Amino acid sequence: VNFGLSEIHNFSPRVINEARGAYVRAAANAVQLGVGHNYADQLGIPNTNVTNNNSGFPTMNIQFLSGIGETPFFPLNEIENVFQYLDNVTFINGSHTFKAGVDFKKIQRQFTQILGDPAGGFSFGGGFTADPANPATTGNGLSVGDSWRRHADTELRTGRAPFHGVLSLLARHVES
């Protein structure tokens, strides 16, 4: 589901405001192929498939050979809501145009996912592990742009220079 509104308002021939708002909702619900089956117990590996969430065939990897087993990172249950508000204002004074704006984004996630192999995993080789990524929950920023027209065929434009994170820095949060 997504929904958006946009409004452009001319306060005067020299001042123009653009406001936009949006809402997006996405959902996913998926399970592994072998859900409900205790294949590890049948293979003689006890206490691996305790619940339906970690049922299925365990993943087995041998270095330099193709692995076997269920697809990792299932079951997955995710609901995401994104709320966004953007506002830009433009000031025109003769041949000079100045733009500034702000962009607020809030992301809400309800996320349930078994990391790694839900039915267990066995690796035989020189592999390594990694820490899973942590998704961002906000995306605020400010932007400024400027253009100046000296003649009809000459224009100096600084463009839009977004700066992300200033609002969270003001709220004493650590930026990564």
> pLDDT averaged over consecutive 10-residue blocks of the chain (176 residues)?
94 96 90 77 77 74 75 76 94 91 90 66 58 50 75 74 50 46
Question: Which residue shows structure tokens 């733009």?
Answer: 99
Q: What is the pLDDT of residue 176?
A: 43
Distance CA 96, CA 27 (A): 46
Q: What is the pTM of this model?
A: 0.50
Are 17 and 8 spatial neighbours (Cβ–Cβ below 8 Å)? Answer: yes
Q: What is the pLDDT of residue 168?
A: 46
- Domain boundaries, given as residue ranges, for the chain: 2-170
Q: What is the pLDDT of residue 5?
A: 96
Q: What is the pLDDT of residue 73?
A: 65
Q: What is the pLDDT of residue 174?
A: 46
